[in-house]
Amino acid sequence: MGSAWRVFWQQFRENFHTTGAIAPSSRALARELCWALKDQRAVADSPPRRILEVGPGTGAVTRFILGHLRPGDRLDLVEINPQFVQFLQRALESDPRFRIPPEVEVQLHQGSVLRWEPQEPYEVLISGLPLNNFQPQEVQEFLDRFAWLTRAGGVVSFFQYIGVRRLRQWVASAATRSRLRGIGQVLHATLSQYEVRRRMVLGNLPPAWVHHLRFADPRPPSLPGKIERASHP
Ligand SMILES: C[S@@+](CC[C@H](N)C(=O)[O-])C[C@H]1O[C@@H](n2cnc3c(N)ncnc32)[C@H](O)[C@@H]1O
């Protein structure tokens, strides 16, 4: 198995559009992305949780998530890139840093989160998607999908690199500038309504903002049909 950095660098060069980063997330970034899991851990008799990680890549954040899971929890990993899926599958099978805690179910799925249709919604969704690489309407689709995938009161956590959009606006073509401006507007509209926590993580390459959202009901109107919520009172 190649090292995570080597695989990541290769995918950065071969699939920049979906990879969007030069290196896996740092421990500091992973720690902050897991904020909602730490929070709920304090409640001794809280029920098992369903957690979704979107775009786990080589598993830099996955390892931290695993460290926060309790018996009965379930973790789904949805990754679009088959090379990352292969790497992560092997890591989950044989790398001690990816030890799955007892009575925890972990499932790795290959495909786009836009097509992911689970049986039940999640309490926590953690995303590594490189939002700046997409069109504004795609970013809106991702955010809507995240809202649809989480139960009311659930937490969605994601990051964006600090200043990258502003920096690229200086050097990019008019079309790219307009795309980046559009992404900023889409993110601002959602964050101003649903953000519950924001932290700056300087210890990452590049430094990042981590955003935590809590979508309440009613959900955004553009969502696809509802997930059956029978087992989520
Ligand atoms: C910036 S990397 C983050 C990887 C990892 N979470 C980390 O923090 O090191 C973005 C990840 O999102 C994945 N990805 C991009 N578009 C996706 C989609 N539509 N559905 C699922 N995964 C996607 C990429 O393949 C890649 O693994």
Domains of the chain: 4-214 (3.40.50.150)
CA distance 54 to 76: 8
Q: What pLDDT is recorded for position 217? A: 64
Quickly list H helices, the chain. 4-14, 16-19, 27-33, 35-41, 62-67, 82-94, 136-149, 164-171, 174-194
Nearest CA to ligand 1 atom 8: 25
Q: What pLDDT is recorded for position 142? A: 97
Q: Are 5 and 178 in contact, with CB atoms under 8 Å apart?
A: no
CA distance 23 to 12: 8
- Residue of 192, 190, 212 lying closest to 35 (CA atoms): 212
Q: What pLDDT is recorded for position 13? A: 92
The identity of residue 52, as a single letter, is L
For the CA of 15, the nearest atom of ligand 1: 25
CA distance 6 to 12: 10
Nearest CA to ligand 1 atom 24: 19
Q: Are 49 and 71 in contact, with CB atoms under 8 Å apart?
A: no
Task: Tell me the backbone φ, ψ of residue 151, rounded to 5 degrees.
Answer: -75, 160
Note the pTM of the prediction, 2 decimals.
Answer: 0.92
Q: Are 220 and 147 in contact, with CB atoms under 8 Å apart?
A: yes
Q: Are 84 and 13 in contact, with CB atoms under 8 Å apart?
A: no
| CB neighbour burial string for 152-167, b if at least 16 within 10 angstroms, e if fewer | eebbbbbbbbbebbee
Ligand 1 pocket, residues with Cβ under 6 angstroms: 18-21, 24-25, 54-57, 60-61, 78-81, 84, 112-114, 128-130
For the CA of 30, the nearest atom of ligand 1: 8
pLDDT, tens digit only, all 233 positions of the chain: 469 999 999 999 999 999 998 889 999 999 999 999 986 545 556 789 999 999 999 999 999 999 999 999 999 999 999 999 999 999 999 999 999 999 999 999 999 999 999 999 999 999 999 999 999 999 999 999 999 999 988 999 999 998 877 777 778 889 999 999 999 999 999 999 999 999 999 999 899 999 999 987 655 555 555 554 433 33
